[in-house]
């Protein structure tokens, strides 16, 4: 019996020892449970405010060549790709209506001449003379309008970019007979955030690159600033003009325009500090202070090599976590690795 009590007492001692040892071990583990992180000191510095925009090249002027009413096409004098001069005859429509209108105009001129002679000798009243003169003016205007719609001239110096009919076709509306575009210069239209509305200046230089020409640069300038903001997108349109004297740039090409809005003093952090929130497009940075980290949402600016400009979210002269973020939560105490 005495032997049995000794065994029980020994077991109790061992059990108490093991429990005490477990608590000590847990306490040690708890002390050592702070996540280890690496920090980087960050501060604000002047950063060029450069923004890139994409656009499709457009002709500076685009004219649709077509008569104002249905009529048969007699002759088209140009083909797609032809360069044309302002005032050059491009298309001749059927002239039957024009000839008829010309006869009517000539008869009205004879009638007015007779009325004018009668009026001079007192054989007609002033009101009769005025009525005859008005009829002549109407006939002349009608003839001039029909003349312009029979012989279609180019209103600009440009290039024929589309031909939708052949000789003898009946024009009945819809697509124009020809399209003439002015490609010296050309233009780009971009949508700029309202944040930069006061910083966009007329005549400011713009660096333009075209995918088809690789890294070759083209000099453009801001030629027009639209005066209103689109309330849906919070952007406004800006027109960029390229001289295009060599006509290397053609309408339809894909372009990238870079605008420089000056400099701003913003905090710059290593790209390793940026954390992307799972399932969202938001970006965060862990900021270290007094032994703890805070989970700060940030607005990214430019990427510059291995660094990011921050528009907001991190105070100047802060310390940010650049390694060990995977185990962190907001407000957690951390241990800094030396």
Q: Could you read off the pLDDT of 2-40 as tens digits, one per residue?
A: 444 444 444 444 444 444 444 444 444 444 588 999 999
Above 90 in pLDDT, residue 229? Answer: yes
Q: Do 238 and 289 reside in the same domain of the chain?
A: no
Q: Do 254 and 305 reside in the same domain of the chain?
A: no
Q: Do 110 and 244 reside in the same domain of the chain?
A: no
Q: Do 43 and 105 reside in the same domain of the chain?
A: no
Domain ends where: 219, 246, 262?
262
| CATH number, domain with residue 195 | 2.40.30.170
Instruction: Answer yes or no: is 274 within a domain.
Output: yes
Q: Do 281 and 133 reside in the same domain of the chain?
A: no
The number of beta carbons lying within 10 Å of the beta carbon of residue 248 is 14
How many structural domains is the chain composed of? 3
**What's the domain range around 109?**
94-149
- Which whole number is the average pLDDT over 121-146? 94
Lowest-confidence region among 24-38, 103-117, 293-307: 24-38
Instruction: Answer yes or no: is 235 within a domain.
Output: yes
Q: Do 56 and 187 reside in the same domain of the chain?
A: yes
Instruction: Answer yes or no: is 174 within a domain.
Output: no
Instruction: Answer yes or no: is 207 within a domain.
Output: yes
- Which whole number is the average pLDDT over 152-176? 94
């Amino acid at each position: 019996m005495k032997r049995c009590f000794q065994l029980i007492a020994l077991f109790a001692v061992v059990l108490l020892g093991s429990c005490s040892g477990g608590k000590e071990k847990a306490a040690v583990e708890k002390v050592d449970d702070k996540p280890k992180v690496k920090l980087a000191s960050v501060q604000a510095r002047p950063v060029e405010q450069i923004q890139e925009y994409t656009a499709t090249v457009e002709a500076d002027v685009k004219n649709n060549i077509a008569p104002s009413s249905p009529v048969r096409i007699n002759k088209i004098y140009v083909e797609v790709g032809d360069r044309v001069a302002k005032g050059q005859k491009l298309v001749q429509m059927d002239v039957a209506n024009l000839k008829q209108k010309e006869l009517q105009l000539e008869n009205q001129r004879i009638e007015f001449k007779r009325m004018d002679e009668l009026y001079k000798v007192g054989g007609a009243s002033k009101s009769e003379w005025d009525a005859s003169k008005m009829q002549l003016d109407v006939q002349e205007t009608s003839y001039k309008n029909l003349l312009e719609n029979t012989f279609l001239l180019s209103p600009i110096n440009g290039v024929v970019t589309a031909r939708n009919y052949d000789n003898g076709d009946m024009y009945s509306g819809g697509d124009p007979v020809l399209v003439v575009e002015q490609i010296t210069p050309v233009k780009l239209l971009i949508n700029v955030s309202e944040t930069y509305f006061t910083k966009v200046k007329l005549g400011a230089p713009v660096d333009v690159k075209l995918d088809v020409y690789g890294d070759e640069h083209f000099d453009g300038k801001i030629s027009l600033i639209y005066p209103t903001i689109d309330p849906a997108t919070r952007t406004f349109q800006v027109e960029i003009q390229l001289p295009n004297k060599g006509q290397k740039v053609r309408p339809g090409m894909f372009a990238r325009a870079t605008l420089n809005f000056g400099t701003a003093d913003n905090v710059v952090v290593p790209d390793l500090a940026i954390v992307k929130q799972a399932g969202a497009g938001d970006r965060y940075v862990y900021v270290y202070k007094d032994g703890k980290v805070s989970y700060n949402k940030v607005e990214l600016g430019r990427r510059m090599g291995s660094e990011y400009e921050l528009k907001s979210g991190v105070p100047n002269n802060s310390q940010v976590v650049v390694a060990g973020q995977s185990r962190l939560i907001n407000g957690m105490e951390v241990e800094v690795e030396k």
